[in-house]
């Protein structure tokens, strides 16, 4: 498959993407990819800098005749989301992504592809190494840890960049020009419980929820996809009368990914186990019917397993289940100002139970700061009623649209001339780094755009080859038309 990928057009972009994907680059584990980018810049003989938080900046002078144009910052993030199917044997820390071509789509075998934001990085690399692409002075900014806290953007100093225009290559629909995004905040809830010894007159069951689509907890939240944590909790809520105890739960993963899988071990009294199973199967069938249009591969099943030593005490268990049931998940409010834009949402991303501790992790997003905090406080209230200690962390601002920027006018004009149609000028319900970067560079005009990518943050992630070709030709034409200083 390597040769097939390396022959794709634009060859320079796909070759750089392939090489990038051989480097482990999970969020907060970017040491190898930072070294890779530094070596790349220095081999080209370009000024290459690394700041205090490990963002990489590579500077390239303007080509002949473009010296009087505004300096452009081309920006993408180096890290990628690590998600894989439960049946996939893969080590993200040591292995390169196993990619393959599927018609018009580039995919990975059982894991995330890393097109978010690897294709943006590869496009910038291709411009930096080119000798025949016209462009103004370029500052290529490669940030770290975008996916799990945006600490690269947060740590960028105000004097590190000198550009006038920032082009963020990190959106996922080639017909869109993005001019705004949501901010976010992490909500974490934790409490302890008393472990109760299991008696012999019981049967243990393993509950499995899998086969869900997952996806980006911002860009895909409006689709109504199944959240494995909420589905499991609904099953537990509906079967509360049947005298069972929770031993363990392991549900979901990263905060920015809609949970695809959740697993639980429960212990049921032998006197009520038949009623428990009957009710479980009834509710499971109801859920499958509700999701049959959106989640055709949803699996919900239960099987006997080995008895564990302990379960959660019943008082805490009841509070826990009711708390998660009450906690909001999904779209909270649509924007009244931009059609079809989610304003505020929450993703119940991770739920774990075991060894006397319950932990719940959420990511709340909103393009309106007050609305973001309204949902965060509602979640805090629900969790605190359930006896949890709640902390807020990782907050980052949204990006307010500027509909009158000169670069927006340029990019709209170029798009219409190239493709004989108007681009969709939008804001997105995802955390782009533009909002954070704008706090230190308030006068810098910013736009985000990119090739079409579907299923980001899930093993179903795929990138359109034709769309990448469109994105690349558009990027080159935009660089030719950057306004004068």
Annotated catalytic residue within 146, 172, 238, 261 = 146
C-alpha–C-alpha distance, residues 92 and 24, integer Å? 6
Q: Euclidean distance between the first and final Cα of the chain, in Å?
A: 45
For helices 369-385 and 314-326, the axis angle rounded to 10 degrees is 160
Q: Give the dihedral sign, CA 217/27/84/118.
A: positive
Q: What is the dihedral of CA 122, 125, 127, 128, to 10 degrees?
A: 180
What are the strands, taking DSSP E only, across 115-243? 138-143, 165-168, 176-181, 183-192, 195-197, 202-210
C-alpha–C-alpha distance, residues 360 and 349, integer Å? 8
Q: Note the Cα 434 to chain centre separation in Å.
A: 16
Structural contact between residues 283 and 234, judged by C-beta atoms closer than 8 angstroms: yes
47 is written with which tokens? 């000024």
* Peptide bond preceding 56 in cis form (omega within 30 of 0): no
DSSP 199: P
Structural contact between residues 456 and 115, judged by C-beta atoms closer than 8 angstroms: yes
Q: Which of 162, 139, 134 is nearest to 74 (CA)?
A: 139
Annotated catalytic residue within 79, 116, 186, 220 = 79
169 is written with which tokens? 């290559």
* Peptide bond preceding 117 in cis form (omega within 30 of 0): yes
Structural contact between residues 204 and 245, judged by C-beta atoms closer than 8 angstroms: no
C-alpha–C-alpha distance, residues 481 and 471, integer Å? 15
DSSP string, 233-292: HHHHHHTGGG-EEEEEEEEE--TTB----EEEEEEEETTTHHHHHHHHHHHHHHHHHHTT
Residues 6+ apart with CB under 8 A from 11: none
Calculate the alpha carbon distances from 149 to 27, 79, 184, 325 in Å. 9, 11, 9, 27
**351-382 as b/e, with b when 16 or more CB fall inside 10 Å?**
bbbbeeebebbbbbbbbbeebbbbbbebbbeb
31 is catalytic: no
79 is catalytic: yes
Task: Give catalytic residue positions.
Answer: 79, 146
């Amino acid at each position: 498959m390597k040769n097939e990928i390396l022959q794709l057009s634009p060859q320079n972009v796909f070759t750089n993407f392939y090489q990038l994907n051989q480097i482990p680059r999970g969020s907060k584990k970017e040491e190898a990819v930072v070294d890779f980018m530094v070596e790349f810049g220095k081999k080209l003989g370009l000024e290459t800098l690394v700041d205090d938080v490990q963002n990489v900046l590579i500077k390239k002078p303007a080509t002949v005749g473009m010296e009087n144009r505004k300096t452009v910052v081309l920006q993408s993030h180096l890290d990628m989301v690590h998600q894989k199917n439960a049946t996939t044997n893969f080590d993200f820390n040591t292995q390169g992504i196993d990619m393959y071509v599927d018609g018009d789509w580039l995919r990975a075998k059982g894991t995330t592809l890393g097109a978010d934001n690897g294709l943006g990085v590869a496009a910038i690399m291709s411009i930096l190494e080119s000798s025949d692409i016209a462009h103004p002075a370029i500052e290529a900014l490669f940030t770290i840890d975008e996916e799990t806290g945006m600490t690269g953007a947060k740590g960028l100093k105000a004097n590190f960049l000198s550009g006038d225009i920032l082009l963020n290559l990190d959106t996922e629909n080639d017909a869109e020009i993005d001019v705004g995004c949501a901010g976010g905040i992490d909500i974490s809830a934790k409490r302890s419980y008393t472990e109760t010894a299991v008696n012999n007159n019981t049967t243990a069951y393993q509950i499995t929820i899998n086969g869900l689509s997952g996806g980006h907890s911002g860009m895909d939240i409006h689709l109504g996809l199944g959240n494995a944590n909420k589905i499991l909790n609904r099953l537990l809520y509906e079967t509360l009368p049947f005298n069972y105890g929770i031993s363990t739960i392991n549900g979901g993963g990263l905060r920015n990914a809609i949970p695809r899988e959740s697993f639980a071990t429960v212990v049921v009294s032998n006197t009520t186990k038949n009623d428990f199973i009957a009710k479980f199967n009834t509710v499971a069938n109801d859920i499958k019917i509700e999701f049959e249009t959106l989640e055709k591969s949803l699996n919900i099943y239960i099987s006997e397993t080995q008895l564990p030593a302990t379960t959660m005490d019943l008082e805490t268990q009841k509070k826990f289940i009711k708390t998660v049931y009450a906690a909001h998940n999904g779209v909270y409010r649509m924007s009244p100002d931009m059609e079809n834009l989610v304003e505020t949402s929450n993703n119940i991303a991770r739920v774990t139970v075991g060894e006397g501790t319950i932990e719940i992790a959420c990511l709340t997003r909103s393009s309106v700061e007050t609305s973001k905090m309204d949902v965060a406080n509602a979640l805090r209230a629900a969790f605190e009623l359930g006896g949890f200690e709640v902390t807020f962390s990782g907050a980052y601002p949204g990006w307010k649209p500027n509909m009158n920027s000169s670069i927006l006018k340029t990019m709209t004009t170029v798009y219409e001339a190239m493709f004989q149609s108007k681009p969709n000028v939008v804001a997105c319900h995802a955390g782009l780094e533009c909002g954070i970067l704008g706090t230190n560079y308030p006068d810098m005009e910013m736009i985000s755009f990119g090739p079409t990518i579907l299923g980001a943050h899930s093993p179903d992630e795929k990138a359109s080859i034709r769309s990448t070709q469109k994105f690349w030709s558009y990027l080159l034409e935009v660089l030719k038309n950057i306004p004068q200083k």
